[in-house]
Amino acid sequence: MSRRALITGITGQDGSYLAEHLLELGYEVWGLVRGQANPHVSRLRKHIGDVQITTGDLLDQGSLISAVERVQPDEVYNLGAISYVPMSWQQAELTAEVTGMGVLRTLEAIRVVSGISPSRTPDREQIRFYQASSSEMFGMVRETPQNEKTPFHPRSPYGVAKSYGHYITQNYRESYGMFAVSGILFNHESPRRGAEFVTRKVSLGAARIKLGLATELRLGNLDARRDWGYAGDYARAMRLMLAQDAPEDYVIGTGQTQSVRELVEFAFRTAGLNWEDHVVLDAKYTRPAEVDLLCADPKKAREQLGWEPEITFEGLVTMMVESDLRLLSESARPEDEPFSPDHW
């Protein structure tokens, strides 16, 4: 019998890579979406293939219980969130409800369907739960690099909501004996990344300028440093966490950092351009509270999961720029891509 997985946020970047990976491993894959009429579902199926869909909403407890009852999954991956950090200041309450409370509702759905209570612990074949935690929880970092024991100091409503989701996952594991883990993933990108994220904004900007569709790219803080990896590599880590004998949390990253300036320089060089001729600094893209440096210590994942990233930073940026050059050569509307930022 193949294992059955339910993925929230399946129409986003991470959901699409995870679905592909699980299908390759022989899983039956289900995706949770907020309505069968969602236009991203048909686009997802064209790219991913044999994915089944059920409806549900991270804002609605009853719909999540119904979805878990219908699918009867072996594994649940909660990737659904309002994941664009700048938007979390504009919609702080919604971010808290979806990105934070949505985790609680998903855990509750699993607990209720499984009949778990303080007096009834799960059996061996219980549903296993993965929560997509984030390096944004570290925020104003206390130490570098950051590992599983580094204290959190989030600097955005998104980071605060992710911290709640992380702790409530830990709480359900300790209170009910549920197999519930969090992957603290550092920045992970790909050609499927939403156009609003800085890595994709840069690769699209370089491609547009190269093709004569634009003359400048406006950006904010070029000095912020991030640990950037490839989203497909990180999807492998998610599945490995749920394949362990015991539930534990893991930091996932490359252990290397680059500045936004280095990202821009390499992307423009890949497109055959000098970035200084085209990039304009614009204060409106500066965060109210900046996170200056994030760098992972993935030692635990390397030793216990056997996980290593396969794509380098240079390989990732090259992949994204070349993909966007092809995309824009065929169509000037990247918003028609199948992997929507509205994926919760």
Active site residues: 163
* Alpha-carbon distances, residue 293 vs 226, 264, 317 (angstroms): 6, 17, 19
Q: How many CB atoms lie within 10 A of CB 185?
A: 25
DSSP codes, 273-305: --GGGTEEE-GGGS-SS---B--B--HHIIIII
| The token pair that represents 16 in the structure block | 């699409």
Extract the tokens encoding 55.
């409806």
| Dihedral sign, Cα of residue 117, residue 122, residue 126, residue 132 | positive
Task: Please count the CA atoms within 13 angstroms of the CA of 183 that sit on its side-chain side.
Answer: 26
> CB burial class (10 A; 0-12, 13-18, 19+) of residue 333?
exposed
- Owner of token pair 């390759």: 24
